[in-house]
Amino acid sequence: CRRAVDAGTAAVCVWPDFVQQSARTLADTPVAIATVVNFPTGDERPYAVRAVTEQALLDGADDIDVVLPFRAFMAGDFDWCGALLDEVRAATLDRAHLKVILETGEMANAAQMTAAATFAIDHGADFVKTSTGKSAVSATPTAVGALLDAIVASDRTIGLKPAGGISDAATAGAYLDQVERVMGAGYLTPATFRFGASGELDALLAVT
């Protein structure tokens, strides 16, 4: 948390167990606290995910990153997926940003990625995020392009978070260029664009 303040990152992302400690450490700083739920498998029950979300919010979380039940989504179990996202949206409404992790590396093609992003947006996502970083394939230009398609089609302002496998300045720059071409330079602020990559900070500090 102290390093995040020194470097000026938008947020720190921690397990729910550490939200309260992070909130104390980051009090009176501009750094937000994000935490993950239904992570990383996407297989937990809606009730359990809602309970963890509620506690994280009480502990001081600003952002909730929930994993879409991506296996259920790919199997066509949209009722289960919708129920889980709706539970988390109800908990976070007017209290925290909701970022939905799609785990695009497990999806068959760009069309399925766009469909998943659209589904997340329809169920209240403020951000769509490519990956947990725990699968063999994380963020890719194809996935980012697919998510941008869903964002452009939405009637709300939706943020984008490429995550996982981004570990050098050149890769980060390529994503920034890709997103700017579609959304414009004004989109590239913490309110609508973030990177999720634990190794990226070291790489960026090394070239600044």
Q: What is the spatial distance between Cα 188 and Cα 77, in angstroms, rounded to a whole number? A: 34
Catalytic residue chosen out of the listed positions 63, 126, 149, 161 = 161
Catalytic residue chosen out of the listed positions 62, 99, 129, 149 = 129
Strands (E), 61-164: 63-67, 97-101, 127-129, 159-161
Helix, strand, coil in percent for the chain, rounding step 5: 50, 15, 35
Measure CA of the first residue to CA of the last residue in the chain; give whole Å: 20
**Matching residue, tokens 């167990």:** 17
Is 161 annotated as catalytic?
yes
Strands 159-161 and 127-129: parallel
Q: What is the spatial distance between Cα 177 and Cα 190, in angstroms, rounded to a whole number? A: 16
16-32 as b/e, with b when 16 or more CB fall inside 10 Å? Answer: beebbebbebbeeeebb
Catalytic residue chosen out of the listed positions 65, 99, 126, 149 = 65
Which residues are bridge partners to 84 per DSSP?
A: none
Closest CA to 196 of 81, 2, 59, 63: 63
Is 99 annotated as catalytic?
no
Phi, psi for residue 171 in degrees, rounded to 5? -65, -45
Is 202 annotated as catalytic?
no
- Residues annotated as catalytic are 65, 129, 161
